[in-house]
């Protein structure tokens, strides 16, 4: 065969025939590659598995806020009054057998009076302190949060900053929940594979999602994880993204 004549573009019919043949070869090769890639993609299935487990909060954190007001010239007396309130609060906690508490640094705000048509006038100071209490005795901590009366005193106010309820065994739960989530992912993959007459093979990879600690029957999840601290009864949810081989 004279290959040189095949590429002699001075003869239009020869040139057209040659280009058609070359194009057909390229399409055939490229098409085979596309089909091959699709087959490879069809050899795996990626699914999300999840699991939940009910838990009951076993730790509590309560913030007790103490506040006293002073005039312009008796800030020192107000500071001493706030410190006495902190000392009395700690003494009460000790008498009630609370052993985990701390006293964060306090702060002072300047108070002003704002006349209708004039500049602001400083009237004094507000001195704030707090005591943070932690306990595993949630009923006793709840009773304290609901009744600040025994902590009140002359010249200052005592209020509850709210109680946070947490679960202390999340680290131990995570491994067990991830195992259950992978089992759920496997079941989902098998359901998908069976629809096409295939079976699930080995687990190629799995990525665990963030932990969601929800109120019982709660649905407020977040991509970054969530932690409900207001409910005694909670649900811990874990998700996993898994890729399986298909056979």
Domain ranges of the chain: 3-39, 44-56+169-246, 59-166
DSSP string over 115-178: -TTS--EEEEEEEEEEEEEEES-HHHHHHHHH--GGG-BTTBEEEEEEEEEE-TTHHHHHHHHH
Superfamily of domain 59-166: Ribosomal protein S10 (3.30.70.600)
**SS3 of residue 246 by DSSP:** strand
pTM more than 0.75? no
Q: What pLDDT sits at residue 33?
A: 35
Helix (H) or strand (E) holding 52: strand 44-56
- Which pair of structure tokens corresponds to residue 229? 């601290």
CB-based contact 57:138 (threshold 8 Å): yes
DSSP string over 186-228: HHHHHHHHHHTT--EEEEEEEEEEEEEEEETT-----TT-EE-
Per-residue model confidence as pLDDT tens for the chain (247 residues): 444 444 444 444 344 344 334 333 333 433 333 332 223 346 888 999 999 999 999 999 999 999 999 999 999 999 999 999 999 999 999 999 999 999 999 999 999 999 988 899 999 999 999 999 999 999 999 999 999 999 999 999 999 998 999 999 998 898 899 999 999 999 999 998 888 888 999 999 999 888 999 999 998 888 889 999 999 999 999 999 999 999 8
Q: What pLDDT sits at residue 42?
A: 62
Superfamily of domain 44-56+169-246: Protein of unknown function (DUF541), domain 1 (3.30.110.170)
Helix (H) or strand (E) holding 245: strand 233-246
d(CA 182, CA 174): 12
130: Cβ contacts below 8 Å, ≥ 6 apart = 63, 64, 65, 66, 103, 104, 106, 161
Q: What pLDDT sits at residue 37?
A: 28
């Amino acid at each position: 065969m004279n290959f040189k004549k095949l590429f002699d573009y001075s003869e239009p019919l020869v040139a057209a025939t040659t280009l058609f043949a070359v194009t057909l070869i390229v399409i055939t090769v490229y098409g085979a590659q596309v089909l091959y890639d699709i087959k490879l993609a069809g050899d795996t299935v990626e699914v999300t598995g999840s699991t939940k487990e009910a838990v009951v909060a076993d730790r509590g954190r309560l913030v007790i806020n103490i506040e006293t007001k002073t005039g312009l010239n008796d800030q020192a007396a107000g500071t001493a009054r706030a410190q006495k309130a902190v000392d009395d609060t700690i003494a009460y906690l000790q008498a009630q057998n609370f052993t985990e508490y701390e006293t964060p640094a306090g702060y002072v705000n300047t108070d002003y009076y704002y006349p209708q048509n004039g500049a602001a006038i400083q009237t004094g100071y507000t001195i704030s302190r707090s005591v943070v209490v932690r306990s595993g005795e949630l009923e006793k901590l709840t009773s304290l949060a609901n009744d600040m009366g025994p902590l009140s005193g002359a010249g200052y106010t005592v209020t509850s900053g709210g109680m946070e309820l947490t679960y202390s065994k999340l680290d131990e739960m995570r491994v067990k929940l991830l195992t259950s989530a992978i089992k759920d992912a496997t079941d989902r993959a098998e359901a998908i594979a069976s629809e096409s007459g295939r079976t699930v093979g080995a687990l190629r990879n799995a990525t665990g999602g963030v932990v969601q600690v929800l109120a019982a029957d709660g649905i407020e999840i977040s991509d970054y994880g969530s932690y409900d601290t207001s409910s005694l009864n909670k649900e811990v949810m874990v998700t996993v993204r898994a890729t399986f081989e298909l056979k």
